[in-house]
Each structure stands twice: as structure tokens, then as C-alpha cells.
């Protein structure tokens, strides 16, 4: 085989390999921000009016969030939207930062307090609804109980009357609460009975508000 033939074969082989590699798509390297271990730089506080709140960078001026902790992102946000704050320098800039951070802290604690009050109101609604069911009172009595609470609050603690007025005890709400409590009890009983080998059932007769006879059942698992 001549030298020219060998060169031609090598050239053609190289061309084929090149074409195959050219048609093969390059695998893109996916970046995972969570694995880059970015940390908040304390220098961003005074320089760009940013703080770290729940692992995110928060702008104190408009209270907007920057998800990725990169100086380029924070710097771009500040320079495009708040560059007028460059007029604050030295002690004046520190005082402005302290004022903005204080306002942000007050707002955060206000929302946290509101969430806590809402949870207490819901719990109080459940407790009253449970008492109505246990005493076999009409569900419409919830509204009457609320009137009693407001009257008592007027006399004893008028400054907290607003807290009592936020408790929802309408007939529809009481009905819904009792249905949810009953479903929870039913689910708990089914779970307990599935794990028992022996249990006894006590059956008695009772009447509802319309004097209609009903069957009352009780379970005893202490056998």
C-alpha cells in the first residue's frame, strides 16, 4: 500500500470521527446553587442595605428578597433601584441602616403576633364547639356564647374585647368544627380498634334535641 493511500485513509478516518463528535450534543453542566455554599457577607449591610433573613438576602429599603447570595445580584439591585441612597455617607448611612432595620424588625414581629392570635382564635372556636357538642346544645348557641363573652369582656377587660370579637362562633362555623372533631374521633377509634384483640361494647339509649331515640355506644379496651 502506497504512502498516499495510507494518508488518504487516515484523513478520511479523522474526518469521520470529527463529524461524529460534531453531531454529538455536548452535555451541559447543571449548576446547583444549593451546593455552592454561598454565605452572606456582612459588608453588604451598610454598603447595599441588605440583611440575611431566613437564609435569604432581604433589601431593607423595599423589603424585597434576593434568593441567590451573590454580590453581583445584590449590587445590581441596589444600583438600579436605590442608588439615590449614595447621598448617605459615614454616620448618616449607619443611622439610616439602623432605622430601616428597626422598621423591618417591627413589621416582622407584627405579622408573627397576628399569626399567633389567629391560631388562638381558631383553638378557642374548637373548644367552644366541643363544649356545645358535649352539652348537646343547639349549634346556634355559639352566637349567643359570643355575645356573653363580649359582655364579660366589656366589664372585666375592655382593652381585650377585640380579641374575643375575632373568635368565629357562627352556627355554620360551629357545625363545621363539630364535624371535624367527630371525624377526628372516628378516625382515632378505627385506628385503635384495628390494633386490639378484644374489646367490649356498651349500648345505651339516649334522645336528641327533638326527643328522638338514638343509640349510644361505648368501647372498653381495658380487658
Is 209:197 a contact under the CB 8 Å cutoff? no
Is 129:174 a contact under the CB 8 Å cutoff? yes
Domains of the chain, by residue range, sit at 36-110
The answer for residues whose C-beta is within 8 angstroms of residue 179's C-beta and 6 or more apart is none
| Distance in angstroms (rounded) separating the CA atoms of residues 174 and 177 | 5
Mean pLDDT of the chain: 75
Q: What is the pLDDT of residues 95-132, one digit of tens each?
A: 888 888 888 877 766 555 555 667 888 888 999 999 99
Q: What is the model's pLDDT at position 119?
A: 80
| Distance in angstroms (rounded) separating the CA atoms of residues 50 and 81 | 13
- DSSP letters spanning 98-159: HHHHHHHHHHHHHHHHHHHHHHHHHHHHHHHHHHHHHTT--TTHHHHHHHHHHHHHHHH-GG
Q: What is the model's pLDDT at position 184?
A: 85
Taking residues 193-200, what's their average pLDDT? 73
Is 0.75 topped by the overall pTM? no
Q: Cell digits for 121?
A: 382564635
Taking residues 150-158, what's their average pLDDT? 89
Q: What is the pLDDT of residues 41-77, one digit of tens each?
A: 888 888 888 888 777 888 888 778 887 788 888 888 8
CB-count exposure of residue 175 (10 Å: 0-12, 13-18, 19+): middle
Residues 121-154 as b/e (b if ≥16 CB within 10 A, e otherwise) read: beebbeebbeebbeeeeebebbeebbeebeeebe
Q: What is the pLDDT of residues 17-48, one digit of tens each?
A: 444 444 445 444 545 544 445 788 888 888 88
Query: Which CA distances in Å does 126 have to 5, 113, 178, 184?
Result: 93, 20, 8, 12
Amino acid at each position: 500500500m502506497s504512502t498516499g493511500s495510507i494518508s488518504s485513509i487516515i484523513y478520511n478516518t479523522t474526518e469521520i470521527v470529527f463529524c461524529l463528535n460534531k453531531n454529538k450534543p455536548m452535555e451541559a453542566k447543571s449548576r446547583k446553587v444549593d451546593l455552592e455554599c454561598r454565605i452572606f457577607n456582612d459588608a453588604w449591610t451598610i454598603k447595599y442595605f441588605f440583611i440575611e433573613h431566613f437564609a435569604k438576602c432581604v433589601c431593607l429599603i423595599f423589603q424585597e428578597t434576593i434568593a441567590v447570595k451573590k454580590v453581583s445580584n445584590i449590587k445590581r439591585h441596589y444600583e438600579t433601584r436605590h442608588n439615590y441612597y449614595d447621598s448617605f455617607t459615614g454616620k448618616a448611612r449607619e443611622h439610616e441602616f439602623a432605622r430601616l432595620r428597626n422598621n423591618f424588625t417591627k413589621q416582622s414581629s407584627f405579622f408573627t403576633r397576628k399569626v399567633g392570635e389567629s391560631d388562638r382564635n381558631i383553638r378557642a372556636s374548637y373548644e367552644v364547639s366541643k363544649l356545645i357538642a358535649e352539652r348537646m346544645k343547639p349549634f346556634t348557641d355559639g352566637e349567643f356564647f359570643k355575645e356573653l363573652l363580649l359582655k364579660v369582656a366589656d366589664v372585666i377587660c375592655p382593652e381585650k374585647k377585640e380579641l374575643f370579637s375575632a373568635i368565629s362562633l357562627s352556627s355554620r362555623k360551629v357545625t363545621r368544627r363539630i364535624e371535624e372533631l367527630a371525624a377526628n374521633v372516628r378516625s382515632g377509634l378505627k385506628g385503635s380498634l384495628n390494633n386490639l384483640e378484644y374489646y367490649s361494647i356498651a349500648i345505651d339509649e339516649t334522645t336528641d334535641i327533638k326527643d328522638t331515640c338514638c343509640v349510644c355506644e361505648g368501647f372498653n379496651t381495658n380487658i
